[in-house]
Amino acid sequence: MFLIGIRHFIKVENDMKTIKIALIGAGYIADYHIRGLQCVPEVEIVAVVARTNESAQKFALKYGVAYSYSDVSKVANDPNIDGVIISTPNQFHAPYALDCLKNGKAVFLEKPMGINAQEGRQIGKVAKEYGQLVMVGHMWRFDTDTDYVKDAVASGKLGKIFKTKGYGIHENWGPSGWFTKKELAGGGALADMGVHAIDSIRYVLGDPKPVKVYARIATNFGEYDVDDTGILVITWDNGTESIIESGWWHPHMDGPEAGAGVFGTKGYASLFPTFLKITKGEESFEKIVPDLPKREEHCDQIIYTRQMEHFVECIRNKETPVPGILEGQIVLDIVDAAYESAKTGEVVHL
C-alpha cells in the first residue's frame, strides 16, 4: 500500500501541468520577478516584452528566455501562455491587463493596480466577466518580519490597537524617468512608496476597511508634476487611526526605506527594526527581539519569490490570490481619496 501511494505521488508530480508565463516589462523589478519564477517548479518562462526589441533581447539573453518582443499583442494573443507579469509604467497596467484578461490569461500586476480607482474597478469587472484571476504586487504580505508583527497584533498581546505610523520614504534620493511624470505614473511618492505603507499596515491590522482619509500632499524637491511629500491619516472601520508618510529626497527617514509602528493599549510593535515592547507597569516594559532570518537586503528576493509561488499556485488551483483585486482596489481608493483631500483640504469619506 505504501509503495502504491509513493507511485501515485510520483505520477501526480510527473503529470503536473507546466505553467507558461510571460513578462511584460523588463525594468528593475522584473529581475526580481523572473528570479522568483525560476525557483518555482513546473514553470516555463516563455517570453518577455519590453519597450524596445533591444531591451527585450538583452533581458531574454540574460535569463535564457526563448522569445523577446516589443509588441504586447504577441503575448496577449498567444493561447499557450497561462499568465503574465506586468511591471511597466503605471499608465500601461490597466490596458495591458485588460487585453490579457480578455484573452484568457491570469495577470500579476505590479503595484499600484492601476493609475486610479476607476481603472482598478474596470480591471475587476473584466476579470470577473472573463473568469480570470488578478494578483497585485503588494509584496510585504510575503515578508517574515511583517507576519511576525501581524501575528503579535492578532494575538491580542498588544491590546487594542489605537494608532499606527508607517512610511515609505527615499532618503536623499528619488527616482527619475516615468516615475516623475503624472501622465505615466498617476502620482509621485504616494503612488510609488506610499501604496506599500498603506497596504502593509492594513495587512498587519487584519485588513480592515477604510472609512475616511485626510491628507496633505506637496512637491518640495523637484521640478516635476508629481508629489514627493505626503502625510495621510486613515481611519479604519475598527477604530484604528493610521498615519502614513511618503516621500522622495527627504533629509531623514526613521529606519530603512519602509517601516511601521503599531501602538496598542498593552504594548508597541516596531516593523524594521522588528521588535515588541510589552507594557509591564508604570515606566516598565519588556522588550522582545525575535530571532528572525537575516535579510540580505531590505526588499529581499525571498519576498518576490514567495509572490511568484503564490501566483503560480493560484493559476494551477484556480484560486483567488491575496493580495488580489480587492486589496489592490482598496489601496487605489485610499490614494484617490488622499489626492482629493489634499486638493480640497477636507476629509474624504469612503
For 321-338, what is each residue's pLDDT tens digit?
999 999 999 999 999 999
* CATH number of residue 262's parent domain: 3.30.360.10
**What was the pLDDT predicted at 294?**
92
Residue range 247-260: average pLDDT?
94
Confidence of residue 281 (pLDDT cuts 50, 70, 90): confident
pLDDT band at 135 (very low <50, low <70, confident <90, very high): very high
Residues 42 and 106 in one domain: yes
Mark whether 161 and 110 lie in a shared domain: no
**Phi first, then psi: what are they for 149, rounded to 5°?**
-70, -40
Residue 301 lies in a domain: no
Same domain for 78 and 104, yes or no, is yes
Per-residue pLDDT at 310 exceeds 50: yes
Return the SS3 of 159: coil
185 belongs to a structural domain: yes
Q: Is residue 214 part of a domain?
A: yes
Question: Is the pLDDT score of 4 beyond 80?
Answer: no
Are 174 and 312 contained in the same domain?
no
**Does 339 share its domain with 212?**
yes
187 and 102 in a single domain? The answer is no
CB of 44 closer than 8 Å to CB of 64 = no
pTM (predicted TM-score): 0.94
Does residue 233 lie in a domain region? yes
H/E/C letters for each residue in 255-276?
A: CCCEEEEEEECCEEEEECCCEE
Q: pLDDT band for position 2 (50/70/90)?
A: very low
What does the pLDDT average to over 120-124? 98
Per the CB < 8 A criterion, the answer to whether 277 and 267 are in contact is yes
Q: What is the DSSP letter of 223?
A: S
Pairing state between β 161-171 and 241-250: parallel
Q: Which residues contact 197 (CB under 8 A, 6 or more apart)?
A: 166, 167, 168, 244, 245, 246, 258, 260
HSE-CB of 317 using CA atoms within 13 angstroms: 9
Q: What angle do CA 132, 139, 108 make, to 5 degrees?
A: 25
202 and 337 both lie in a single domain: yes
Instruction: Check whether residue 75 and residue 153 sit in a common domain.
Output: no
298 within a domain of the structure (yes/no) = no
Q: Note whether 241 and 145 are same-domain residues.
A: yes
Q: Are residues 8 and 102 in the same domain?
A: yes
Q: pLDDT band for 284, please (50, 70, 90 cuts).
A: confident
Residue-wise pLDDT for 23-40, tens only, equals 999 999 999 999 999 999
HSE value, Cβ hemisphere, 13 Å, CA-based, for 327? 26
Q: What is the CATH number of the domain that holds 15?
A: 3.40.50.720
Q: What is the dihedral of CA 10, 13, 15, 16, to 10 degrees?
A: 170
Per-residue confidence band for 15, with pLDDT thresholds at 50, 70 and 90: low
pLDDT at 6 over 90: no
pLDDT at 165 over 60: yes
Q: Is the pLDDT of residue 16 over 70?
A: yes
Mean pLDDT of the region 95-119:
98
> Model confidence over 31-74: pLDDT tens digits?
999 999 999 999 999 999 999 999 999 999 999 999 999 999 99
Number of domains in the chain: 2
Residues 197 and 342 placed together within one structural domain of the fold = yes
Q: Considering the domain boundaries, does residue 27 fall inside one?
A: yes
Q: What is the mean pLDDT of residues 228-240?
A: 98
Q: Could you tell me if residue 128 is inside a domain?
A: yes
Residue 45 within a domain: yes
Q: Do 149 and 54 fall into the same domain?
A: no
The lowest-confidence range among 180-184, 282-286, 288-292, 299-303 is: 282-286
Range of 102's domain?
2-137+307-323
Instruction: Take residue 242 and report the three cell numbers written for it.
Output: 493610521
